[in-house]
Amino acid sequence: MHRLYEFLRRHPTGVDSFWAVLLLGLCALTLTENTTESPAQRAGAVGVSLLMCTVLALRRRMPEKMLFLAIVVGLAQLAFDVGVNIYDVPMLVIVYTVASGPRRWASRVALAGGVLAPVLYSWRWPDRSSDSVTHALLGLAFAAFPFLLSWVLGDRMRTRRAYWDQLEERAARLEKEREQQAKMAVTAERARIARELHDVVAHNVSVMVVQADGAAYVLDSSPEQAKQALETISGTGRQALAEMRRLLGVLRTEDGSAPAGEYVPQPDVEQIEELVEQVRGAGLPVDYRVEGSARPLPSGVELTAYRIVQEALTNTRKHGGPDAGASVRLTYFDDGLGLLVEDDGRGAQHELYESGGADGMGHGLIGMRERVGMVGGTLDAGPRPGGGFRISVLLPAKPGR
């Protein structure tokens, strides 16, 4: 049944032609039984039948042209005294078809024709059985009702089609917006993972390089210090691998969750002290202080604070020089967390702080700004008066956009 319905929908002209042939057969039977008309009237009725069947067959292919053809045929009936019969049924059908179409002017013409047709019929073939005005008006109303009903049904169908078209358009637009939002979410997640990998690799590899250089320097004179440096390198490498395994594991899973058995918690504010101890062990003196009453913060804010301190101390080791020292201040406010990381080294070139440098380096500070912006905080970074570099950050207790 569904296949038959789809076939009929794909061949509307064929369906209309079938009904036109059936109507032509009914018209032939009617004309054969009617023997009261003159030969001219019978010839006119045959012509009207053929033309009206044509209107019915082509009503959906050429609705406006068939409407005007039906009007011309109706006027010809008035002119040649061809009475109303079953061959006039396509007039109702074409009124419905045009009213359900998109052209409003044609719908208005069909409505006007449907209203005038009973009036012209009554004028051409008046009912002389009664002189009552009420009877005449009721006759007109009864004759106009089929045309009005056909027009109303067609206009309702047009409105319904327009409504469904709007729903389909809206659904397509929403689907497109969902796809765009999904792409934006994927891009944002990739950017976040890229920042995480940058922080993990930049910090841990710099610690390993410093420790490896120190181990090579004291290998002959102080084997114990060299052994301690190698242990630090080993521990730092394991930590870096664990964090990278967590990030890459997110990429391997379809739902974005870490795979079972490989989950590594994200760093938080409490681990900043361990980070400072690690940096001190790498040879950079760091003064670490916490002010205010410590309290739990959103995980995104704590991760941002940890990564900023990590990146700032990494930059100090890379650009501060051999005798540089650093200080880290964590201050708990009522509405957020403040960070102040300073060093007294010589600092990097000014171009690296402005735009990342022509060689593509210096993206750590850019990553800091992105992280702080994601949680709705503020960041102020730049050279200190008298030398060194300062990074001041204020993170809200409730992360915002």
Q: Give the per-residue pLDDT at 258.
A: 46
**Structure confidence at residue 364 as a pLDDT band (50, 70, 90):** low
201: helix, coil or strand? helix
Q: Which residue has the higher pLDDT, 218 or 119?
A: 119
pLDDT one-digit tens code per residue, 226-280: 777 787 777 777 777 777 776 666 555 544 444 444 445 678 888 899 888 888 8
Judge whether 397 and 335 are in contact, CB under 8 Å. yes
Least Cα distance to 313 among 234, 389, 251 occurs for 389
The model's pTM: 0.49
Measured in whole angstroms, the distance separating CA 73 from the mean position of its chain's CA atoms is 53
Res 361 pLDDT > 50: no
CB 170 within 8 A of CB 164: no
Q: What is the pLDDT of residue 250?
A: 57
Strands 286-291 and 389-396: unpaired
- State how far the Cα of 331 lies from the Cα of 17, in Å rounded to an integer: 86
pLDDT number for residue 251: 59
SS3 199: helix
* Helices of type H across 58-132: 63-80, 89-99, 104-124
pLDDT tens digit string along 324-353?
889 999 999 888 899 999 988 776 554 444
pLDDT tens digit string along 29-54? 888 877 667 788 888 888 988 999 99
What is the per-residue pLDDT for 261?
A: 43
Catalogue the E-assigned strands of 292-362.
326-332, 336-343
Average pLDDT over residues 97-113: 90
Concatenated DSSP letters of 235-266? HHHHHHHHHHHHHHHHHHSSSSPPPTT---PP
**Parallel, antiparallel, or unpaired for β 326-332 and 336-343?**
antiparallel
Question: Among 275, 265, 267, 269, which residue's Cα sits nearest to residue 337?
Answer: 269
**pLDDT-derived band at 391, boundaries 50, 70, 90:** very high
Interior/surface letters 87-110, b for 16+ CB within 10 angstroms, e for the rest: bbbbbbbbbbbbbbbeeeebbebb
Q: What is the mean pLDDT of residues 192-211?
A: 70
Mean pLDDT of 344-369: 57
Each residue of 61-92: pLDDT tens digit? 899 999 999 999 989 988 888 888 888 889 99
At 211, which amino acid appears?
Answer: Q
Confidence of residue 359 (pLDDT cuts 50, 70, 90): very low
User: What pLDDT, on a 0 to 100 scale, did the predictor assign at position 153?
Assistant: 93
More confident residue, 160 or 266: 160
Q: What is the pLDDT of residue 387?
A: 80
Inform me whether the pLDDT recorded for 363 exceeds 60: no
Is the pLDDT score of 360 beyond 50?
no
Mean of all residue pLDDT scores within the chain: 80
